[in-house]
Amino acid sequence: MKIVLQNNEQDCLLACYSMILGYFGRDVAIHELYSGEMIPPDGLSVSYLKNINMQHQVNMHVYKTDKKNSPNKIFYPKMLPVIIQWNDNHFVVVTKIYRKNVTLIDPAIGKVKYNYNDFMKKFSGYIITLSPNSSFTKKKRISEIIFPLKKIFKNRNTFLYIFSLFISQIVALWFSIILRDILNKSHDITYSFIMMISLVLFQTLSLLMKLGAQKNTNLLYESKISRQIFKGIFSRPLLYFRNNSVGTIIEKINLRTGIRDGILLKIFPSLLNFFTVFIVIIYLGTISFTLTLFLVIMNLLYMIFSFSLISIKRQANIQYTQQTIDFTSVVQEDLNQIEQIKAQANEKECVKRWTKKSAQTIFSYNKILNIDGITSAFNQGFNYICVILMMIFGIYLNQGNLVSIPDLIIFQSGISLFVSAVNQIQDVMFEISRLSIYGNKISDLLIENPQRIDNIEKHSNNAIILKDISYSYELNNYIFNNINFSIKKGEKIAIVGKSGSGKSTLFNILLGLISYEGEVTYGYENLRQIIGVVSQNMNLRKGSLIENIVSNNNSEELDIQKINDVLKDVNMLELVDSLPQKIFSQLFENGKNLSGGQIQRLLIAKSLLNNNKFIFWDEPFSSLDNQNRIHIYKNVLENPDYKSQTIIMISHHLDVLKYVNRVIYIDDKKIMIDKHNNLLLNDSYNSFVNE
């Protein structure tokens, strides 16, 4: 069964389902199984899987078994493979049941084996059986990375690169021939010297050709793979970044260089070296067929042993890759919470967590080292034994004048060349397996999601119109159903409601960040160029203050007076003027030389500048004190200078309701929109604002 690793802890069930489908003959990647943009708030449940399963013509049964029975009585061979719940919060695939052990595939780490006792401790008792129905069809899937890789490596650069490697191999073989001729005194010193100079020149030419081809291939790889990955990432909907941690995404991006280096630095040279061995065999056969046959037989024995280690090393590499990604994610998450960790003195817990994750990574890496160590030890031992046997056999042939001593030296070099070729083929097979893992990991990033085209009516008096809008995380479980309302240009709107009522969901629908059913029409031309946003996750970049709040900071085009007016309206002008270089002063990464309230006010200023006409604020006052908050209410929301700008905000500060034109109140999946005073007549709203 092909191993499919999970992208994050939430989609382990989809990874298991993907493996089962692959076992039945239908190759489906994890990202193709998502029924929507976001995993439901309660994670991937069996009900979620049932909705997906309807599309794949597979019979699905879920039941709980008696854990008092042993695994060989719970699972019979014909029902395997099956998905089981693991540790009450995870899913794995059981593939084999032996007399004392159970083999399963954990989408977090790969294939593992447990004895019966350890298995039953982790087995939660729930089993999901799957079997194809009569309508099931098989489907082969080609990884998204294959096509761009063909474009990159089927060209003149690859030919030059391989040709340069071929020259290097010929030079090495040529050197051995010249050395044999020198020992046999077949040519004079002048001829030998000219041959050596020629070798150096050809080797230099080979290196220059190889370097040029590598550089050109790198540039092509960047344009075809890296750029496509970057485009694919930024084409993802907002919810993709909530489903995947920053560390996971960064680690997946970094895998792209491993694919390039694996092909250029390992697969191509190794394959060419292996094929060069056939030329060497032919040459050695002309010297001594008997010794050549002996050499081939010995290396076939070595090859059989070496290849037996490939599957073990492949599994160890799968675990190492996944553990590395998991470790990066944990580090990223903790560093994002460093203030809380410091405040609560949780450093020791973080050190323990990092140490545990790092130890898991090292444990997986040590498995690879152990396999490499065994291979290396066997390699050296085989070399010694083979050389000794070759010399004994060669001396015997020499006594019969069948081979010369220089010939034996050539054959000794041939042993090393043969062993090296076998090792390289082993490396190629392992590398292909490793690149397959990498390719599957980043394949979803190579797909550019189609972007929703905004409906625009530029001459409309409305900033936005919602018509029959519905939204759900799961099939038929709607958060909103057929909502309709409009917001006029220049209106100041507040969205309020209880926690979890759907304020952020509605906010993201209005902003066009999530998919929905229905139609949204905007009243602005070049919409995305005139939107200003303040979100809870936004921060400042490293650079000057002016670079952070003005999109085009060309000194000749800066409207300093306008900037100062906005800074004054958000109560930041006095602070900015106190800085050494005023608006040109440098900020640290994430604005760490400013307070949270100062950062928030600068972000509000940024949203109001840059000719923005449609403003979205998500909890813009969460870090502000009463004085600064009221200052912005009066100097922005009630200021005629901003009357043409439409502002839609989410705020838990209900004192803002007196300063906005209308309020959107969300209650029990229903939306009410009216003036604050009118909504007070509604019992639910009145109760909400007066709690």
SS3 332: helix
Q: How many CA atoms lie within 13 A of 136 on its CB side?
A: 19
pLDDT at 82: 93
67: domain CATH number is 3.90.70.10
pLDDT at 621: 92
Query: How far, rounded to the nearest angstrom, does the alpha carbon of residue 184 sit from its chain's CA centroid?
Result: 59
How many structural domains is the chain composed of?
3
Query: What whole-number distance in Å separates Cα of residue 253 and Cα of residue 232?
Result: 11
Q: Are residues 410 and 468 in the same domain?
A: no
SS3 526: coil
User: Which pair of structure tokens corresponds to residue 339?
Assistant: 């203030």
> Is there a cis peptide before residue 81, judged by omega within 30 degrees of 0?
yes
Catalytic residue among 12, 16, 350, 386: 12
Contact 496, 506 (CB under 8 A): no
Final residue of a domain: which of 424, 446, 468?
Answer: 446
User: Which pair of structure tokens corresponds to residue 548?
Assistant: 């952070």
Query: What whole-number distance in Å separates Cα of residue 380 and Cα of residue 399?
Result: 28
Q: Are residues 115 and 151 in the same domain?
A: no
Instruction: Classify residue 141: in a domain, yes or no.
Output: no
Q: Are residues 431 and 481 in the same domain?
A: no
Final residue of a domain: which of 419, 446, 473?
Answer: 446
Query: What whole-number distance in Å separates Cα of residue 664 and Cα of residue 483?
Result: 12
Q: Are residues 417 and 491 in the same domain?
A: no
Instruction: Classify residue 3: in a domain, yes or no.
Output: no
Q: Which residues contact 644 (CB under 8 A, 6 or more apart)?
A: 489, 490, 613
Q: Are residues 393 and 499 in the same domain?
A: no
Chain segment 169-219, per-residue pLDDT in tens: 778 777 777 776 776 666 677 877 888 888 889 888 888 888 888 888 888
Q: Are residues 399 and 472 in the same domain?
A: no
Q: Are residues 337 and 409 in the same domain?
A: yes
Q: Are residues 337 and 194 in the same domain?
A: yes
Helix (H) or strand (E) holding 23: helix 12-24
Instruction: Classify residue 140: in a domain, yes or no.
Output: no
Give phi and psi for 643, each to the nearest 5. Answer: -65, -25
Instruction: Classify residue 204: in a domain, yes or no.
Output: yes
SS3 62: strand
From residue 339, alpha-carbon distances to 99, 334, 388, 588, 598 in Å are: 52, 10, 66, 16, 17
Torsion of CA 384, 390, 396, 397, to 10 degrees: -160
Q: Which residues contact 543 (CB under 8 A, 6 or more apart)?
A: 586, 587
User: Which pair of structure tokens corresponds to residue 156?
Assistant: 């003149």
Q: Are residues 291 and 381 in the same domain?
A: yes
Final residue of a domain: which of 73, 106, 132?
Answer: 132
Query: What whole-number distance in Å separates Cα of residue 434 and Cα of residue 317?
Result: 7
Q: Are residues 193 and 336 in the same domain?
A: yes
Instruction: Classify residue 387: in a domain, yes or no.
Output: yes
Q: Are residues 610 and 505 in the same domain?
A: yes
512: domain CATH number is 3.40.50.300
Long-range contacts of 168-171 (CB under 8 A, 24+ apart): 168/203, 168/206, 168/207, 168/210, 169/272, 169/273, 169/276, 170/202, 170/276, 171/199, 171/202, 171/203, 171/206
Measured from the Cβ of residue 480, the count of other Cβ atoms closer than 10 Å reads: 21
Contact 675, 661 (CB under 8 A): yes
Contact 72, 97 (CB under 8 A): yes
User: Which pair of structure tokens corresponds to residue 180?
Assistant: 């044999």
pLDDT at 391: 78
Measured from the Cβ of residue 50, the count of other Cβ atoms closer than 10 Å reads: 13
For the question of residue 350 being annotated catalytic, the response is: no
Instruction: Classify residue 72: in a domain, yes or no.
Output: yes
Residues of the chain falling short of pLDDT 50? 42, 556
Residue with tokens 């602070």: 575
Helix (H) or strand (E) holding 232: helix 227-234
Query: What whole-number distance in Å separates Cα of residue 260 and Cα of residue 326?
Result: 23
Task: Say if residue 76 is exposed, middle or buried (CB neighbours under 10 Å; 0-12, 13-18, 19+).
Answer: exposed
Which residue range forms the structural domain that includes residue 97? 9-132
* Helix runs in 402-463, H state only: 405-442
Instruction: Classify residue 411: in a domain, yes or no.
Output: yes
Query: What whole-number distance in Å separates Cα of residue 682 and Cα of residue 669?
Result: 16
SS3 451: coil
pLDDT at 70: 83
Contact 464, 521 (CB under 8 A): yes
Task: Say if residue 396 is exposed, middle or buried (CB neighbours under 10 Å; 0-12, 13-18, 19+).
Answer: exposed
Closest CA to 468 of 508, 496, 509: 509
User: Which pair of structure tokens corresponds to residue 650?
Assistant: 């989410």
From residue 367, alpha-carbon distances to 313, 364, 424, 575, 667 in Å are: 8, 5, 20, 57, 56
pLDDT at 476: 67
Q: Which residues contact 121 (CB under 8 A, 6 or more apart)?
A: none
Q: Are residues 161 and 295 in the same domain?
A: yes
Closest CA to 565 of 656, 641, 488: 641
Residue with tokens 């160029």: 529
Instruction: Classify residue 531: in a domain, yes or no.
Output: yes
DSSP annotation of 306: H
pLDDT at 556: 47
